[in-house]
Amino acid sequence: MTNAELNELKKRYVANGAASPATQFADRAENAVIWDADGNRIIDFAGGIGVLNIGHRHPKVVEAVKAQLDKVMHTCQTVMPYEGYVKVAEKLSQVTPVRGHAKVMLANSGAEALENAVKIARAATGKNNVICFDGGYHGRTFMTMAMNGKVAPYAGDFGSMPGNVFRAPYPVPYHGVSEDEALRGLKMTLKTDANPRDTAAIVIEPVLGEGGFYPASASFLKAIREICDEHGMLMIADEVQSGFGRTGKMFAIEHSGVEPDIITMAKSMADGMPISAIVGTDVHMDASGPNSLGGTYTGSPVSCAATLAVLEVFEEENILERSMALGEKLGKRFAQWQQDFDCVDNGRHLGSMAALDLVSDKANHTPNADLAAALCKRAREKGLVLLSCGLFGNTIRFLMPVTIEDEILEEGLAIVEESLKELVGQPATA
């Protein structure tokens, strides 16, 4: 079917489908390129939203999935366990930098991982409250919507949210929130609203994702660790977007040397197969009663096979080093654009978790969300998927596969440059 025909079906039958601006339907994909239903070639700088760090349909993962399909497609792991689940648990326990000996629960999505992390923290501490951060994003289930600091457009239409969630400022010096101020805010939250005696956990993204790609400093993360220890609260690092090699380490928290109690992960775990994980210190992971964790599909055998293949690819193809190298390249290009364009500001990256801001006034960091939307639209017309994010909607984030070929990376970056040039009329010399 053509894009036009599929769009008609989407409008008629897909919930909320008419509201989505995307009109090209993916027909097939390979590494960093997608071909749509009309045969158009599109470069993917979104990686399915950070899911494809090793590229679309990595051959090794495809092979592992096919082999698993010939063995077992599904059993519920609490009813009839299978090798893939325990192997994934063993491997993740070894590579995830949580305190002490780690145990693992698998789920299906990022939001489910956060839901279960909170359940585990409540069971482990016997306390109810969680503290989350301004600008944070954790998912679209009710608990995670309540946890989100970034509320629009996710929670506005859905009535009241679960309680026991409190908020603290995330340090973003570029927008005037210093680390000291953020810490003061956190301490104030603990003093006034979320009594530490009732608080089970602090949940933090080591790099703010949907909220604008801002890494927290090592000293801030260390302070959170200390506050958690002081008050018997668990530190939960949400690495759903920053994990699995995006920042040049397996997990972003490794840049700080801090060991949280629990890390949640999902994107890029299985090259697009649905799976997520909650990895935490064994005493906490074992705290709840028998059969209290899990679900029909959690950690499907097929997704587990994909995850094991992804972990092998990380070793064999030096994905972490390549992530660092890609980030360096992007950082240089951002610096060039900042010189060339009055509207480009605040280029930043931790490994290849990279972003820049579009502004109408550089001196005052005035966000220009309209330009960001226009840039993404123009880029799409020229054959590039580009995504914005951030509290002000003016951040352009770069989440292309780490394995992207040099020529395709250059081609995509040239599209960004040309689109910007067309939109703001300044020369791009890079």
Contact residues: ligand PMP, CB under 6 A: 109-111, 114, 137-139, 205, 209-210, 238, 240-241, 266
* Residue corresponding to tokens 């990022």: 110
Cβ proximity to ligand PMP: between 7 and 256 the closer is 256
Inter-residue contact 242 to 207 (CB < 8 Å)? yes
What SS3 state is found at 243?
coil
Closest to ligand PMP by CB, 114 vs 235, is 114
Q: Kindly give, in sequence order, each residue whose CB lies less than 8 Å from that of residue 176, ignoring residues fewer than 6 positions away.
A: none
Shortest distance, position 241 Cβ to ligand PMP, whole Å: 3
Enter the DSSP assignment of 31: B
Q: How far apart are CA 379 and CA 42, in angstroms?
A: 10
Identify whether 153 is preceded by a cis peptide bond (ω within 30 of 0). yes
Q: Which CB sits closer to ligand PMP, 110 or 169? A: 110
- Minimum CB separation of residue 43 from ligand PMP in Å reads 21
Indicate the residue whose CB is closest to ligand PMP. Answer: 110
Q: What amino acid is encoded at 29 in this protein?
A: A
Q: Which of 31, 55, 95 is nearest to 249 (CA)?
A: 95
State in angstroms the smallest separation of the CB of 426 from ligand PMP: 32
- Minimum CB distance to ligand PMP, residue 103 (Å): 21
Cα(18)–Cα(16) distance, rounded to whole angstroms? 6
Q: Which is nearer to ligand PMP, 137 or 314 (CB)?
A: 137
Least distance in angstroms from the C-beta of 316 to ligand PMP: 26
Q: Cβ closer to ligand PMP: 185 or 243?
A: 243
Q: CA-to-CA distance for 334 and 327, rounded, in angstroms?
A: 10
From CA 274, how far away is CA 213, in angstroms rounded?
A: 23
Least Å from the CB of residue 110 to ligand PMP: 2
The residue among 267 and 378 lying less far from ligand PMP, judged by its C-beta, is 267
Min dist. Cβ of residue 117 to ligand PMP (A): 10
Q: Minimum distance between the CB of residue 205 and ligand PMP, rounded to whole angstroms?
A: 5
- Contact present, 264 and 113 (Cβ < 8 Å): yes
Give the whole-angstrom CA distance, residue 190 versus residue 131: 9
For ligand PMP, give the closer residue by CB, 266 or 293.
266
**276 neighbors 138 (Cβ within 8 angstroms):** no
Q: Which is nearer to ligand PMP, 14 or 67 (CB)?
A: 14
Contact 216, 208 (CB under 8 A): yes
Joined tokens for residue 341 = 């364009």
Structure tokens given for 239:
């690495």
